[in-house]
């Protein structure tokens, strides 16, 4: 359930699948240094690394550590098997970061996660974080600052810049969720509207979208359906993209008028969101809507 995602905290036991690989080792250490409770990992070469137990499979890892979340750091062709293994072992939140996961694998994984009531973030995501508390993935620390804006993103690089510029203005995020840019994915923007309406720590939503796909339109429909009352500021990237030219994420496709910046802007504004095409304008508006006491609130979030 999506609520499991919002319950991730300092005490949540997390494992890294593929932890003995170069990326697995590096980011396990970085996540642990940030405060994430990394309790172990899995690998075809079980053993131990840097005071961390490494198991041969997720079932053994969960039995020994009580892990509730997993960050999957394996090649794209191995993501389906690894994520299914995690879900079968009882993992509630699975984050898969690899780019290039086959669409058919993503379709299977989406169905399996839904049937099990597990939350899957990915594929091709930088992860998620509750700044000052925990992060799952490789979101850069310099862009993470405790605050009260929920940051929802497709693009990794663009969202890092948004986070960094928010931090430079003494603003931050209550939660940051990178849904990824693939056509078929686990968590989508629209799935997060209802829980964020109830999320007391979030004053509003900063949405980092882009040309192509229908996700922003679906999000707009969800805002109306759930009668979302908090501020929503949306950045739409790709204003200079050329029709018929392949670029960006695998999911950045347009179909007639659907998926265009015009379609997204009209639907978002009809749902009450403010739409921006400039990163500076988005951040400036977020600052204007934030109270002068935001810095003190950020400190409280950091210790919450």
* Crossing angle (nearest 10°) for helices 261-270 and 215-225: 10
The tokens describing 212, both together, are: 């192509």
Identify whether 249 is a catalytic site residue: yes
Q: Give the CA-trace dihedral at 137, 139, 142, 147, to 10 degrees.
A: -100
Chain segment 106-155, per-residue pLDDT in tens: 999 999 999 999 999 999 899 999 999 999 999 999 999 999 999 999 98
For the ranges 56-70, 266-280, 290-304, which has the lowest average pLDDT? 290-304
How many helices (DSSP H) and strands (DSSP E) are in the chain?
A: 11, 14
Q: pTM for this one?
A: 0.89
- Residue 230 and residue 198 in contact, taking contact as beta carbons nearer than 8 Å: no
State the Cα–Cα distance between residues 13 and 85, nearest whole angstrom: 17
Of 156 and 165, the structure prediction assigns the larger pLDDT to: 165
Angle between helices 103-116 and 79-88 (to 10 degrees): 10
- Which of 226, 249, 295, 303 is flagged as catalytic? 249
User: Domains of the chain by range and CATH?
Assistant: 2-121 (3.40.50.720), 140-302 (3.40.50.261)
Q: Which of 40-44, 64-68, 158-162 has the highest mean pLDDT?
A: 64-68
Cα 112 off chain centre by = 19
What would the pLDDT profile of 22-46 be if each residue is shown by its tens digit?
999 999 999 999 999 999 999 987 6
Please write the tens of the pLDDT for every residue from 219-248.
999 999 999 999 999 999 865 444 554 445
Mean of the pLDDT values across residues 183-201?
A: 96
**What one-character DSSP code corresponds to residue 142?**
G
How is residue 75 annotated by DSSP?
Answer: -
Q: Characterize 54-87 residue by residue with b for buried, 16 or more Cβ atoms within 10 angstroms of its Cβ, and e for exposed.
A: bbebbeebbeebebbbbbbbbebeebbebbbbbb
């Amino acid at each position: 359930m999506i609520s499991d995602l919002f319950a991730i905290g300092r005490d949540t036991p997390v494992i890294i699948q593929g932890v003995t690989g170069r990326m697995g080792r590096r980011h396990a250490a970085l996540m642990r240094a940030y405060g994430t409770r990394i309790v172990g990992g899995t690998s075809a070469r079980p053993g131990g690394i840097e005071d961390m137990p490494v198991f041969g499979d997720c079932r053994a890892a969960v039995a020994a550590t009580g892990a509730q979340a997993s960050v999957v750091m394996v090649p794209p062709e191995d993501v389906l098997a690894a994520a299914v293994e995690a879900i079968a072992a009882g993992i509630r939140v699975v984050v898969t970061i690899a780019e290039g996961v086959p669409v058919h694998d993503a379709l299977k994984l989406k169905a399996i996660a839904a049937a099990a009531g597990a939350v899957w973030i990915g594929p091709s995501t930088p992860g998620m974080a509750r700044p000052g508390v925990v992060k799952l993935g490789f979101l850069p620390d310099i862009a993470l600052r405790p605050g009260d804006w929920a940051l929802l993103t497709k693009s990794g690089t663009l969202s890092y810049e948004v986070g960094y510029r928010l931090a430079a203005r003494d603003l931050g995020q209550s939660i940051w969720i990178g849904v990824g840019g693939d056509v078929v994915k686990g968590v989508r923007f629209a799935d997060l509207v209802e829980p964020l309406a109830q999320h007391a720590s979030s004053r509003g939503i900063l949405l980092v979208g882009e040309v192509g796909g229908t996700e922003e339109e679906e999000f707009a429909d969800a805002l109306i359906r759930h009668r979302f009352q908090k501020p929503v500021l949306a950045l739409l990237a790709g204003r200079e993209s050329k029709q018929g030219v392949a670029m960006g994420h695998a999911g950045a496709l347009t179909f007639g008028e659907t998926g265009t910046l015009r379609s997204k802007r009209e639907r978002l504004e009809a749902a009450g969101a403010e739409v921006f095409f400039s990163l500076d304008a988005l951040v400036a508006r977020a600052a204007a809507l934030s109270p002068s006491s935001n810095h003190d609130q950020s400190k409280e979030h950091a210790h919450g």
